[in-house]
Amino acid sequence: MTALNLFALIILMVAGISADSKFLMFWAGANAMVVLYALLGVVQQ
């Protein structure tokens, strides 16, 4: 699921840059925070 989230994050980042949409950039940033938190959780386990 983490790989899927990362894939979605990349798509959102590309869409945000191409559309110059601040909302998509914010959503991509939020997804990045979730992915990093999930990765930290896995490392701690």
**Which domain does 27 fall in, by range?**
2-44
pTM for this entry: 0.43
pLDDT in tens, 1-45: 677 877 877 777 777 666 666 777 777 788 888 888 888 887 776
Give the number of domains in the chain. Answer: 1
Sorted by sequence, the CB contacts under 8 Å of residue 31 that are 6+ apart come out as: 5, 8, 9, 12
Residue 45 DSSP code: -
Residue whose structure tokens are 């979605």: 8
